[in-house]
Amino acid sequence: MTAYEPVIGIEVHVELATESKMFCGCAVGFGAEPNTNICPTCLGLPGALPVTNRQAIEWIMAIGMALNCEVSERSVFHRKNYFYADLPKNYQVSQYDIPVCHDGFLDVTVDGETTRVGIERAHMEEDTGKSTHVGEGGRIHSAESTLLDFNRSGVPLVEIVSKPDIRSAAESRAYAQELRALVAELGVSDARLEEGSIRFDANVSIRPEGIEAFGTKVEIKNMNSFRSLERAVDYEIKRQVEVVSDGGEVVQETRHWDEEGDVTHSMRTKEGSSDYRYFTEPDLVPMVMGDVWVEEVRSTLPELPAQRLERYVEAGLDSDSASVLSAAPAKLRGVFDEAAVAGADPRAAANWLTGEVTAWLRRTETEAPDLPLAGADLAELVGIVADGVVSASAAKDVLDGMLSGEGGARQVAEARDLVQISDTKALEAAVDEVLAANPDAIETYQGGEQKVVGFLVGQVMRATQGKADPKLVNQLLREKLSG
Amino acid sequence: MTVTDLTVVAAGERLRSGSTTSTELVEAVLDRASRTEAQLHAFLNIDRDGALESAAQADAELAEGKDRGPLHGIPIALKDNMCTRGLETTASSQILAGYVPPYDATVVTKMRDGGAVLIGKTNLDEFAMGSSTENSAYGPSFNPWDIGRIPGGSSGGSAAAVAAGSAFTALGSDTGGSIRQPASLTGIVGMKPTYGTVSRYGLIAFASSLDQIGPLSKSVEDAAATLETIWGHDPLDSTSFSGEYPDPRAALSKGVEGLKIGVVKELAGEGYEPDVESAVAEMVEQLHSAGAEIVEVSLPTFDIAMSAYYLIAPAEASANLARFDGIRYGHRADGSTTEELMARTRAEGFGPEVVRRVLLGTYALSAGYYDAFYGQAQKVRAAVQEDLERAYQSVDVLVSPTSPTVAFKAGDRVDEPLSMYLADICTIPMNLAGDPAISVPIGLDGQGLPIGFHVMAPALGEEVLFGVAAEVERLAGFDARPEIPVVAE
């Protein structure tokens, strides 16, 4: 049987959370009363004209830079002509041959393996309005109607088109997640899938392994979670393999992901390809980017996930904890950076944050930004554990005390009586007492059964109510037993 | 001379000296309109109450010594493709019947800020597509010089209103000659400013890269006064010019001594009426006598400019007019699906010339034809611009007839779109170039119909343009007035 290789490209639409719309002064926002954020321009009234939102251009440049793209010298808008009720001008102002950003890449990792996904382009356009179809179900002659809300009309929309470099459903999901994380990091979009502020379409085709030529591609739409994206791509790959294996041919079409049925359905197939009759938007003049502006935007970029990961690994974290920490809320990452500056061992600090601290947040239902922990305090906690002042298990209680507002690490350890006995002389007495009470154990040890030391350590710990430093106890016992 | 024959400048002097009031001027033009509109149909809509209210306000302000500029208290008219808040605006299309804009075009705001008194909205060819005003869905306008003839177009209503004295000055829009050609055919001054100097915000678009609003006035100085009121950078129009604007008055009395004037070789010959050619030649001779150096200039691309125009303008129009779909405003036809509703609305709402151009433009932009049509037309456009740049290296201004003919008879060209298109042969290159140009009346032909003289200048060359135009006006001494068979009171 022939083995097939899936070839996948993903188109992502990101609504920018700019103060105003792409070409007018109306507010951008989710959830406003229908048709309240509208004006002559975004309603397509006769005579109204567009004015380009500079912030949107800066933000798409930032996205492009984060995706390692080249920024074009000029931004040129085109009209994309098609009739649709929620497209007020019946053309969309978009970009055609000169996108703002082109030729970049994004690295995605699945099961420890990293793939570089090429970015074809990232271009700027305006969103459409929203149609809500209303029908009185059940009645044959019921009058169906459609409600139109133009609040979304003209919201800045960035379309990011990947190269067909993705080879699996899991990679599709990882690419989408990575891209969403990046856009969220840049702070340019709400990037909420459920509100549609970030949307994914996938182009899926298959080809026999070892063959260069692409198969017929199918566009799949309507995936509104990462999970459904992965499942839809997975389904589509299997469907195509089945079609071809049965001697059929894949038809070029758009298919709709049906979340309930767990399948893709063919949408009405368009005869031939649409002719959008693109031409340069005469109401706008080309915007010249210029080196100065580009560098200005570049200087405002925050640290991006990939850069951060690299920095964590350089700081000594293993790649797993580096990626867990990198994906952690900004507040936690901030505490990490502060703790490291305060001298904490980075590995220990990362473990605390991604382990106990995260668990505490979840348990107490506290939002990350409200975490009452300073980096210096975490560094102190890490320090007293390393110095043996408190045991690893007691340290968890110390943290709990710290987060409950009882004070710094040392203060809590003392107040809660969790400081280990690390004084050799104080411990020697307890060791001697235990040895005196267990002559059998000494015999056993001397008979070659070294395991008995564990039992004796336990006895000393019990005698000291757990405050003895077990390492030191162990050491003392062995000295005495051997001596 | 009656009050309605006064220029803006003369009326302004009387207003400021207290010898007349804005209310008197408004009553005079309303009276004039009431006796000429049945013959001319210059207006689609006269806002009598609004005009009298604005006039009263202007009178109060002028009495207090508050002066808003040259148009303060002056009755004006607007072509009905400029949006007026609260006042029906249809662009002479059935598809916008009853449409009342919720906002003012920038030129309207500037007119209001300048204290001008809006008399009404004037007739035009539907969506400004035409050269005779016969393509109006609300019936044609007629020429005050001969009511059996058209006033030109598409700003024919504005031209007829000013020529008839029903407005002291008016605004039109010029996409291929739609201000200059009707001005020429009605014996008034019509001027297309440099592209980008007058905001298009609120102008119902025909072809965005070519459309430009400008004045239709009784004199060159009136045109300058009107232009000064409406132009300037507008942040609402991305194509608006933001640099330093020329002073159109600076050279009004300078004459043409020492200037080099180029006569365009291509804008003469076949298709040009002899009376038009001889009047233009005589004016060129007079300019020479007045001290200008005259040279013949060849601009070979002018011969193909019209073909390019009739691809670019319809292409842009096909997209600009897509918004008229019956969904949000204007006429709406019934349909069982959205597509059917849109298609029927457009079929019912657009007149034949609009349909022709939308189809032409859609075709020109279609995959497989784009390069041959729209792409090629853009190259011609660039070549016209280069041709003109070369010409302006050796001359200050170019001159030609504004229209190859005088006003033609109503109905003569309605069924011949190509002969109608030829009416703009002299004016189209300036729209492709974005350069300013003006038409000045220089005399009457053998039948007593006005002839216009076309002066063209490089971009932002309004100072020299108005200077030469003022000299042409002085040399022509054109002071004839049309005799309209008026309805007696």
| Strand pairing category for A70-71 and A198-208 | unpaired
Shared domain for A204 and A103, answered yes or no, is yes
- Could you give the CA distance from residue B156 to residue B84 in angstroms, rounded to a whole number? 19
CB contact under 8 A, A85 and B323: no
Tell me the pLDDT band of B207, cut-offs 50, 70 and 90.
very high
Q: How distant is the Cα of B208 from the closest Cα of chain A, in angstroms? A: 6
- Could you give the CA distance from residue B415 to residue B12 in angstroms, rounded to a whole number? 44
Query: Which of A42, A49, A53 to mutate against chain B (most B CBs within 10 Å)?
Result: A49
Q: Which value, to the nearest 10 degrees, does the dihedral of the CA atoms of residues B280, B281, B282, B283 take?
A: 50
CB contact under 8 A, A79 and B235: no
Cα Rg, chain A, nearest whole Å: 31
Shared domain for A313 and A288, answered yes or no, is no
Q: What would the mean pLDDT of B256-281 be, rounded to a whole number?
A: 97
| Strand pairing category for A156-162 and A218-223 | unpaired
Shared domain for A185 and A334, answered yes or no, is no
- Share the mean pLDDT of chain B: 96
* CATH, residue A474: 1.10.10.410
The total of other beta-carbon atoms located within 10 Å of residue B31's CB is 15
- Could you give the CA distance from residue A418 to residue B64 in angstroms, rounded to a whole number? 89
pLDDT tens-digit readout, B20-34: 999 999 999 999 999
Q: Which of B166, B165, B170 lies closest to B182 in space, CA to CA?
A: B170
Angle between helices B8-17 and B22-40 (to 10 degrees): 150
Q: How distant is the Cα of A44 from the closest Cα of chain B, in angstroms? A: 7
> Which of A293, A327, A351 is the last residue before a domain boundary?
A293
Return the pLDDT at A472: 83
Return the pLDDT at B161: 98
Contact B120, B240 (CB under 8 A): no
Shared domain for A329 and A474, answered yes or no, is no
Please give the interface size between A and B, counted as residue pairs whose CB atoms are below 8 Å apart: 105
Contact A209, A3 (CB under 8 A): yes
Given A47, A50, A52, which is nearest B202 (Cβ)?
A47
Query: Which residues on chain A are in Cβ contact (under 8 Å) with B362?
Result: 277
Q: Which helix (H) or strand (E) holds B280?
A: helix B274-289
Measured CA angle at B140 (ends B224, B453), to 5 deg: 35
- Could you give the CA distance from residue B401 to residue B453 in angstroms, rounded to a whole number? 5
Active-site residue, from B22, B79, B131, B219 = B79
Return the pLDDT at B278: 98
Nearest residue on chain A to B343, judged by CA atoms?
Answer: A83
Shared domain for A340 and A368, answered yes or no, is yes
- Could you give the CA distance from residue B197 to residue B460 in angstroms, rounded to a whole number? 8
- Say yes or no: B83 contacts chain A, CB-CB below 8 A: yes
Nearest residue on chain A to B208, judged by CA atoms?
Answer: A282
Q: What Cα–Cα distance (Å) separates residue A198 from each residue in A164, A260, A369?
A: 20, 21, 24
Structural domain contains residue A448: yes
Return the pLDDT at A441: 83
Q: Is B79 a catalytic residue?
A: yes
Q: How distant is the Cα of A26 from the closest Cα of chain B, in angstroms? A: 13
- Say yes or no: B105 contacts chain A, CB-CB below 8 A: yes
CB contact under 8 A, B365 and A49: no
Q: Is the dihedral of CA B366, B372, B375, B377 positive or negative?
A: negative
Does B37 or A429 have the greater pLDDT score?
B37
Shared domain for A96 and A239, answered yes or no, is yes
Return the pLDDT at A141: 43
- Could you give the CA distance from residue A288 to residue A298 in angstroms, rounded to a whole number? 16
Query: Which residues on chain A are in Cβ contact (under 8 Å) with B101?
Result: 40, 45-47
Active-site residue, from B93, B132, B154, B439 = B154
Query: Which of B200, B212, B325 to mutate against chain A (most A CBs within 10 Å)?
Result: B325
Q: Which of A299, A374, A372 lies closest to A340 in space, CA to CA?
A: A374
Cα Rg, chain B, nearest whole Å: 21
Structural domain contains residue A473: yes
Q: How distant is the Cα of A6 from the closest Cα of chain B, in angstroms? A: 31
Shared domain for A390 and A289, answered yes or no, is no
Q: What would the mean pLDDT of B456-470 be, rounded to a whole number?
A: 98
At residue B214, what is the residue type? G
Active-site residue, from B54, B136, B158, B178 = B178
CATH classification (class only), B3-250: alpha beta
> Which of A264, A293, A322 is the last residue before a domain boundary?
A293
- The separation between CA B453 and the C-alpha centre of its own chain, rounded to angstroms, equals 15
Query: Which residues on chain A are in Cβ contact (under 8 Å) with B203?
Result: 47
CB contact under 8 A, B236 and A279: no
Given B209, B367, B370, which is nearest A282 (Cβ)?
B209
User: What single-letter DSSP state applies at residue B210?
Assistant: T
Measured CA angle at A260 (ends A254, A261), to 5 deg: 65
- Could you give the CA distance from residue B401 to residue B385 in angstroms, rounded to a whole number? 20
Query: Which residues on chain B are in Cβ contact (under 8 Å) with A44?
Result: 323, 328
Chain A residues within 8 angstroms (CB to CB) of chain B:
40, 43-52, 79, 81, 83, 85, 88-91, 146, 148, 275, 277-279, 282-285
Return the pLDDT at B127: 98
Return the pLDDT at A224: 86
Measured CA angle at A416 (ends A413, A419), to 5 deg: 45
pLDDT tens-digit readout, B421-457: 888 999 999 999 999 999 999 999 999 999 999 999 9
Shared domain for A249 and A377, answered yes or no, is no
User: What single-letter DSSP state applies at residue A286?
Assistant: P
Number of domains in chain A: 3
CB contact under 8 A, B323 and A88: yes
Contact B290, B255 (CB under 8 A): yes
Query: Which of B323, B340, B345 to mutate against chain A (most A CBs within 10 Å)?
Result: B323
> Which of A415, A443, A472 is the last residue before a domain boundary?
A415
Contact B40, B142 (CB under 8 A): yes
User: What single-letter DSSP state applies at residue B296?
Assistant: E
Shared domain for A406 and A430, answered yes or no, is no
Query: Which residues on chain B are in Cβ contact (under 8 Å) with A283?
Result: 205, 208, 238-239
Q: How distant is the Cα of A343 from the closest Cα of chain B, in angstroms? A: 55
CB contact under 8 A, A46 and B323: yes
Return the pLDDT at A268: 61
Q: What would the mean pLDDT of B131-139 be, rounded to a whole number?
A: 97
Contact B46, B206 (CB under 8 A): no
What is chain A's pLDDT, residue by residue, as a tens digit (483 residues)? 689 999 999 999 999 999 999 999 999 988 899 999 999 999 999 999 999 999 999 999 999 999 999 999 998 999 999 999 999 999 999 999 999 999 999 999 888 888 999 999 999 999 999 988 887 654 434 557 889 999 999 999 999 999 999 999 999 999 999 999 999 989 999 999 988 999 999 999 999 999 999 999 999 998 989 999 999 999 999 999 999 999 999 999 999 998 888 888 887 655 456 799 999 999 999 999 999 999 999 999 998 888 898 999 999 999 889 988 988 888 999 999 999 999 999 999 999 999 999 999 999 999 888 999 999 999 999 999 988 888 888 899 999 999 999 999 999 999 988 888 777 777 888 888 888 888 888 888 888 888 888 888 888 888 887 788 888 888 888 888 876
Does B169 or A389 have the greater pLDDT score?
B169
Shared domain for A451 and A384, answered yes or no, is no
CB contact under 8 A, A46 and B201: no
The domain of A363 spans 303-415
Shared domain for A287 and A319, answered yes or no, is no
- Say yes or no: B453 contacts chain A, CB-CB below 8 A: no
Two structure tokens written together for A210: 């070892």
ipTM of the complex in this document: 0.96
Using CB atoms within 10 Å of the CB of residue B346, give its burial: 0 to 12 exposed, 13 to 18 middle, 19+ buried.
Answer: buried
- Could you give the CA distance from residue A34 to residue A32 in angstroms, rounded to a whole number? 6
pLDDT tens-digit readout, B381-432: 999 999 999 999 999 999 999 999 999 999 998 888 888 888 899 999 999 9
Structural domain contains residue A232: yes
Shared domain for A230 and A199, answered yes or no, is yes
